Structure 1
Amino acid sequence: MAAEQKQKLEQQLWNIANTLRGKMDADDFRDYILGFIFYKYLSTKMDLYANTILKPDGLTFQQIEGHAEEEALLEEIKQLALDKLGYFLLPSELFSELARRGNTGGKNNFILGDLAKVLLHIEQSTMGSESEEDFGNLFSDLDLTSHKLGKSEADKNELIVKVLVHLDEIDFDLENTDSDVLGDAYEYLIGQFASGAGKKAGEFYTPQQVSSILAQLVTVGKDQLKSVYDPTCGSGSLLLRVAKEVKNVSAFYGQEMNPTTYNLCRMNMIMHDVHYKRFDIKNEDTLERPQHYDMRFEAIVANPPFSANWSASPLHMTDERFSAYGKLAPGSKADFAFVQHMVHQLADNGTMAIVLPHGVLFRGGAEGHIREYLIQEKNYLDAVIGLPANIFYGTSIPTCILVLKKERQHPNDILFIDASQHYDKVKTQNVLSTANIAKIISTYTDRTTEARYSHVAPLSEVATNDYNLNIPRYVDTFEEDAAIDLNAITTELRQLATQGATTDATIAAFCAELGIETPF
């Protein structure tokens, strides 16, 4: 039943999102529709919580405006809501109220100005409270004055009212605390937008199939985590996926440099009912200005931008994240800088899993030096997993996952898995099936060797290869061609020659009847 409900809600929300399609590009209408869904979510949570508080008084939240004790009641509800929910809304600011007013018709249905004030008030209601940073500027990407919404103010209002009214008709079922149908549907929408966003998608979204692998890798043998961290958290999908693999995650930490994506991540956290006191997401450049520098995390996952530019400033050589290695990752390829950053943040009992381009496995220079240090000096590398090409949005290159631990259960070897040929083809995209993912995880967990799929390489073998981790060096996927039966081919050629002679004779006979020369 939950699966059917989820599918229905996903379709309803996607249909409403398409109301904005054609009016603006994918990035813009993503921000509007996700922002409005989030506003409705906050509004519904506020209404439900306030009604719970007021129930002993025989009142509803909608009834206290105009009540003799309105001011006192609102102040009490506000203080309780700020602690419980992290924000506050007045009854007149609820989503349903604005949708109703917008749908009345006539001059009184103009709500753009009031809507902008409500969204601003949600942010301002948190000022001075513990949740201020978590809600600050959350709606900054919803520009209700943008010409993209329409040429005139009336056109803009008409479009927004249409979206709000359609959303208002959908039951988010937030009273059902055992269900995360809305959170999953929100994640589905983010994925849908990512699939159509081209190259930009990699900046904010990791496909769920890859998220699932990373999440399972860092939770092997654990049913709860003290903390999970993503230094390039995008929309937060990876962090939330880790939570699905264990019974409980005490705290979520992340950093994201893109302000729009940072807002999306915080919304995604809240929409999945992660309390504001349990997550700490920062908006900054992770490599240049790390915000959780002195913290150590039990699980770390990341899908950083592939081979991104970074400063590689000599000043970083005094930074504990990089100094011990003796060299910095190249300025044109920050891949190993992210690895070094994550290793620094990793707790002694923790596991980290990071998606990277294949170049990190074999490139020389500073990268080769860092790779050797991680293996020979630190012995942190636990596994190398090769993934199929064309499974990420916006790039078709094959990728790999590096799994690192500071306290390894198998310190004398490194596991190599070549899953590059194990996928399903869905239209133009390669997709890892549930079975493909399960095979990767079981091979990692059991540390098994399988012909043309996996190999447990002793550290001595890796050293012999000069710490080159290129997977074909360890997993031989070569398959001999089938033997050719030369006698059968000779017989077939003779048969073809006989058939050809018969055909030539037939053509010659026809040509003689017609009185023309034969073509041979």
Structure 2
Amino acid sequence: MNDKINQDSINKALWAACDTFRGTISADTYKDFILTMLFLKYISDVWQDHYDGYKAQYGDEPELLDEMMKTERFVLPKGASFYTLFQHRHEPGNGERIDQALHAIEEANGTKLKDAGKSVFQDISFNTDKLGEEKQKNTILRHLLEDFAKPELNLKPSRVGTLDVIGNAYEYMIKNFAASGGQKAGEFYTPPEVSELIAELLDPQPGDSICDPACGSASLLMKCGSKVRAHHNSKNYALYGQEAIGSTWSLAKMNMFLHGEDNHKIEWGDTIRNPKLLDKNGDLMLFDIVTANPPFSLDKWGHDEAEHDKFSRFRRGVPPKTKGDFAFILHMVETLKPKTGRMGVVVPHGVLFRGSSEGRIRQQLIDENLLDAVIGLPEKLFYGTGIPAAILLFKKAKNDDKVLFIDASRDFKAGKNQNLLDEASIQKILDTYKTRTSADKYAYLASLDEIRENDYNLNIPRYVDTFEEEQEIDLMTVRAEREQLKTQLTKLEAEMAKYLEELGYGR
């Protein structure tokens, strides 16, 4: 099957493959199996495609072909390909064979699929009791291998074309798992429109180092990288990230690999309790761009250790025990380069106005003139929560001592369960941010003195007045309309009585 295929066909075939698991285990569990199998199928198809290409060019010379394949971006050990697993699918032990294949691929590809000793497939096992007893598990995995062997999921480059097709399919699957994943969904994925907006606002440049300290599946991080390629035709940038959840860290690593992002470093661990992105002196690394969509108001974020933080991240104050929003903000601010550092972070609205320790931290950041803009977003944009959020933009070297407030909360395309930021809404925000001017009922450029007068409260309605005056009601017109309606009603009642009488109901 050598015909070209469109993105939608691949996406639909992948989503249909999930039927193998539905009703047996939860989506939160089977997403790892589906996404890992997509990864294995893709690298097997690429390897086979290139091997067949060399074979057609140089003939059936196994030693020469093996030598040619050593120049590939990755290594696929013998016996570890999807095709071998598919051939043996009717035999017992599918789970064990798949796990062994993944382990062999990991070992053969060194740092591409590992970071600091942690391997990508460490938290993913196909040989698990979650799939039921041995016989049931073997049958489910046989169905899964057969799903991915279908012609629609022939992912060979000679058929699907660019690498982006696979990266996009991966993103599509992650998005769908997030959309159907309930409360935990937002933990690993930022909606693509929000990632697009943040990446454009931060305007990454060639040579920039870009970091997401709560990177999830790395979608936001990679969106920033893609902007350097799109706007400057350059791959001269470096991506850094950290993720606390092991299986999500694995998704990020595979996501990077499938998008061809080899210049990256994604660490596994808790950014607040144990930051891993350190320089050779053991200090926090500094970046040109830091961006994140951290978990909203995280409970048990590491309050007890914060007071004695060896990196002094909480010198402006320790955030409350049950709300970790400012813990992430303070960590991010500390990792900005002194001249080029700029930052975008997604926060719940409470961050803008809550008092006590959060109020004192907010005051410090504003007095230091680090806050650049506050952008209010529509509700129901994020997976797993209906609450509206805001984007805070910070800059280390600002050109003025003002803060731009934008109220974009009413600009969205309504969806069934999820609202969307459309292109026009994104462009309006970008244009307003670039011109940095006030706009009636939409944006206001506030001085630091105005913010101080508001007791450092950043609640957007304090600065952007969106109140719409109701039109004055002409009571005489209303009275005339009422009299007219009364006359019409009397006439209709008389007609109705006449009809009823004709039908014999009038007596």
Q: TM-score range by the shorter chain?
A: 0.7 to 0.9
Aligned position for 1:133: 115
Out of 358, 375, 387, the position equivalent to 2:366 is: 375
Match of 1:263 among 250, 254, 263: 250
Counterpart Cα distance in 2 of 1:9 and 1:507: 63
Provide the C-alpha distance between the structure 2 equivalents of 1:319 and 1:486, rounded to a whole number of angstroms. 70
Secondary structure of 2:42's counterpart equals helix
Aligned residue number for residue 161 of structure 1: 142
What's 2:275 paired with? 290
SS in 1 for 2:398: coil
CA distance in 2, matches of 1:139, 1:21: 22
**Aligned runs of 1:94-243 on 2, under 5 Å?**
94-102=81-89, 108=91, 111-126=94-109, 132-133=114-115, 136-153=118-135, 155-168=136-149, 169=151, 170-174=153-157, 178-219=162-203, 222-243=204-225
- Measured after TM superposition, the shift of residue 471 of structure 1 is 0.3
How far apart in 1 are the matches of 2:243 and 2:341? 22
The answer to whether the Cα contact below 8 Å between 2:404 and 2:445 also exists between their aligned partners in 1 is yes
Provide Cα deviations, 1:222-266, integer angstroms capped at 9, x if missing partner: 542431110100111111111221223521111111111111111
Secondary structure at 1:92 match in 2: coil
1:208 CA drift (Å): 0.7
Alignment partner of 2:464 out of 459, 463, 475 = 475
Amino acid at match of 1:446: T
Of 425, 432, 436, 1:443 maps to: 432
| Aligned residue type for 1:190 | I
User: Once the two structures are superposed, what CA deviation does each residue of 1:368-393 show, in whole Å capped at 9, x if it has no partner?
Assistant: 111111111x2011100000011111
Q: What does residue 351 of structure 1 align with?
A: 342
Kindly indicate whether the alpha-carbon contact (under 8 Å) linking 2:46 and 2:156 is maintained by their aligned counterparts in 1. no
Distance in 1 between residues matched to 2:50 and 2:286, nearest whole Å: 35
Cα distance per residue 1:444-487 (max 9 Å; x no partner): 11213211111111222112212111100110000001110111
Deviation at 1:404, TM superposition (A): 0.4
Q: CA RMSD in A?
A: 3.3
Q: How far did 1:502 drift?
A: 5.9
Q: Secondary structure at the match of 2:346?
A: strand
Does residue 279 (structure 1) correspond to residue 244 (structure 2)? The answer is no
- With over 3 angstroms needed to count, the CA separation of the structure-2 counterparts of 1:3 and 1:279, relative to structure 1, is farther
Q: CA deviation at 1:164?
A: 1.8
CA distance in 2: counterparts of 1:120 and 1:479, whole angstroms? 62
Matched, 1:303 2:293: yes
Partner of 2:32: 31
3-state SS of paired residue (2:344)? strand
Equivalent pair of 1:322/1:328 in contact (CA under 8 Å): no
Inter-partner Cα distance in structure 1 for 2:496 and 2:146: 77
Pairing 1:387–2:377 present: yes
**Are the equivalent residues in 2 in contact too, given 1:123–1:136 (CA < 8 A)?**
no
Pair 1:405 & 2:388 matched: no
The 1:9–1:58 alpha-carbon spacing in structure 2 relative to 1, beyond 3 Å, is same
* Conserved 8 A contact 1:204-1:234: yes
d(CA) in 1 for partners of 2:219 and 2:116?
Answer: 17
**Could you tell me how far 1:59 is from its partner in structure 2?**
4.3
Q: SS at 1:246's partner residue?
A: helix
Whole-angstrom distance in 1 between the partners of 2:380 and 2:441: 21
Distance 1:486 1:114 in 2: 81
What's the CA shift string for 1:316-371, capped at 9, x where partnerless?
Answer: 3554443431x211111111111110011112302210000001111111111111
SS in 2 for 1:93: coil
Q: Which piece of structure 1 moves more, 242-251 or 340-349?
A: 242-251
Structure with bigger gyration radius: 1
Alignment correspondent of 1:93: 80
Contact 2:163 2:258 in 1 (8 A): no
The count of aligned residue pairs is: 490
Distance 1:99 1:509 in 2: 81
Between stretches 491-500 and 422-431, larger displacement belongs to 491-500
Structure 1 residue 23 displacement after superposition = 2.5
Change over 3 Å in CA distance of 1:180–1:498 after alignment to 2: closer
1:55-93 Cα offsets, whole Å, 9 max, x none, are: 987446xx46xxxx9xxx97x789x56xx645x432322
Q: Which amino acid aligns with 2:25?
A: M
For the 8 Å contact 1:390–1:429, the answer to whether it is kept is yes
Q: Judge conservation of contact 1:391–1:430 (CA < 8 Å) in 2.
A: yes
- Matched AA of 2:357: A
Q: 1:109 to 1:484 in 2, by over 3 A?
A: same
- Tell whether the 8 Å contact from 2:306 to 2:318 is kept in structure 1 after alignment: no
Amino acid at match of 1:237: S
Give the deviation of 1:216 after TM superposition. 0.9
CA gap of 1:506–1:157, structure 2 versus 1, over 3 A, is: closer
Contact 1:227–1:249 (CA<8 Å) still a contact in 2?
no
316 and 177 in structure 1: CA distance in 2 versus 1, 3 angstrom threshold = farther
**1:341 correspondence with 2:331:** yes
Match of 1:332 in 2: 322
* Match for residue 407 of structure 2 among 406, 418, 433: 418
Q: Distance in 1 between matches of 2:291 and 2:323?
A: 19
**Judging changes above 3 Å, is the alpha-carbon distance between structure 1 residues 492 and 91 closer, same or farther for their aligned structure 2 residues?**
same
TM normalised by structure 1 equals 0.85
**1:466 equivalenced with 2:468 (yes/no):** no
**Kindly tell me: are residues 144 and 132 of structure 1, through their superposed partners in 2, closer, same or farther at Cα, counting changes over 3 Å?**
closer
Structure 2 vs 1, CA of residues 183 and 388 (structure 1 numbering), >3 Å: closer, same or farther?
Answer: same
Deviations 1:1-33 (A, max 9, x none): x99722222122222233322232111221111
Q: 1:429 aligns with which of 414, 418, 425?
A: 418
Distance 2:138 2:22 in 1: 16
Q: Distance in 2 between matches of 1:25 and 1:264?
A: 17
Q: Separation in 2 of the partners of 1:119 and 1:418?
A: 48
Instruction: List aligned pairs for 1:243-254, cutoff 5 A.
Output: 243-247=225-229, 248-254=235-241
Whether the aligned pair in 2 keeps the contact of 1:123 and 1:135 (CA below 8 Å) is no
How has the CA–CA distance of structure 1 residues 29 and 225 changed in structure 2, closer, same or farther, with 3 Å as cutoff? same
Instruction: Give the structure 2 partner of residue 363 of structure 1.
Output: 354
- Whole-angstrom CA distance in 2 between matches of 1:53 and 1:504: 89
Distance in 2, matches of 1:13 and 1:502, equals 65
CA distance in structure 2 between the aligned counterparts of 1:57 and 1:245, rounded to whole angstroms? 39
| Structure 2 gap ranges (5+) | 230-234, 279-283
Q: Which amino acid aligns with 1:351?
A: R
- Shift in Å at residue 298 of structure 1? 1.2
Letter matched to residue 138 of structure 1: V
Q: Is the 2:77–2:104 contact (alpha carbons within 8 Å) kept by the matching residues of 1? A: no
**C-alpha spacing 1:162/1:134, structure 2 compared with 1 (3 Å):** farther
Structure-to-structure mapping, 1:475-514, within 5 angstroms? 475-499=464-488
Structure 1 residue 282: Cα displacement? 1.1
